[in-house]
């Protein structure tokens, strides 16, 4: 079996573009050593514990998000906190954990009645063609978005209530 290097996802809330379009579906690829090292050279980064480092790394590994031509740090900065937390978790799972857990994470953040069309019929999370997940969802009226946000989510193996800070090795 070939190594899976790209993972389709659907953001819990979605990125709202300048034109009001809601972009939720995307593709994240596995990170390379360069993806982790290159952002450290950015003048805005003060060191390996700088919180902005996460923004730069996530922007490098998101290949697609809706119909956006590019995903840059500016778009990642504009994500809702729940979406950034989701992408951080997804990044950790696909790069350092068991990629099979990516499906469980995705199911945990979507309402139970929302289809997970990004996943195969057999429940697997095999490679998904990028063109399949590049669909945009038109921006819904605020009342519809709010009603959707109030729907219960499925049980999750891990729920993230806040962004957690990981202490550096020099802190005791």
pLDDT (0 to 100) of residue 5: 94
Residue 146 is classified by DSSP as H
Contacts 24+ apart (CB under 8 A), 113-121: 113/151, 114/10, 116/10, 118/8, 118/9, 118/10, 118/25, 119/8
Give per-residue pLDDT as tens, 74-120.
999 999 999 999 999 999 999 999 988 999 999 999 876 665 544 43
Identify the band that residue 146 occupies on the pLDDT scale cut at 50, 70 and 90. very low
**Phi (first) and psi of residue 26, to 5 degrees:** -155, -175
Give per-residue pLDDT as tens, 46-71.
999 999 999 999 999 999 999 999 99
* Calpha distance 164→24 (Å, rounded): 24
- This prediction's pTM: 0.67
pLDDT (0 to 100) of residue 143: 38
* Calpha distance 137→67 (Å, rounded): 10
Query: For the chain, what is the mean pLDDT?
Result: 76
């Amino acid at each position: 079996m070939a190594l899976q290097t790209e993972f389709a996802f659907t953001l819990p809330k979605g990125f709202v573009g300048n034109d009001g379009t809601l972009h939720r579906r995307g593709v994240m690829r596995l990170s390379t050593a360069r993806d982790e090292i290159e952002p450290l050279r950015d003048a805005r980064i003060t060191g390996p514990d700088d919180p902005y480092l996460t923004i730069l790394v996530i922007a490098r590994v998101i290949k697609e998000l809706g119909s956006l031509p590019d995903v840059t740090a500016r778009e990642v900065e504009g994500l809702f906190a729940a979406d950034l937390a989701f992408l951080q978790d997804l990044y950790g799972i696909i790069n350092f954990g068991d990629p099979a857990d990516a499906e469980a994470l995705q199911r945990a953040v979507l309402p139970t009645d929302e289809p997970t069309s990004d996943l195969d019929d057999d429940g697997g999370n095999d490679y998904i063609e990028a063109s399949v997940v590049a669909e945009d969802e038109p921006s819904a009226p605020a009342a519809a978005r709010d009603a959707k946000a109030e729907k219960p989510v499925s049980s999750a193996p891990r729920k993230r209530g806040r962004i957690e800070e990981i202490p550096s090795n020099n802190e005791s």
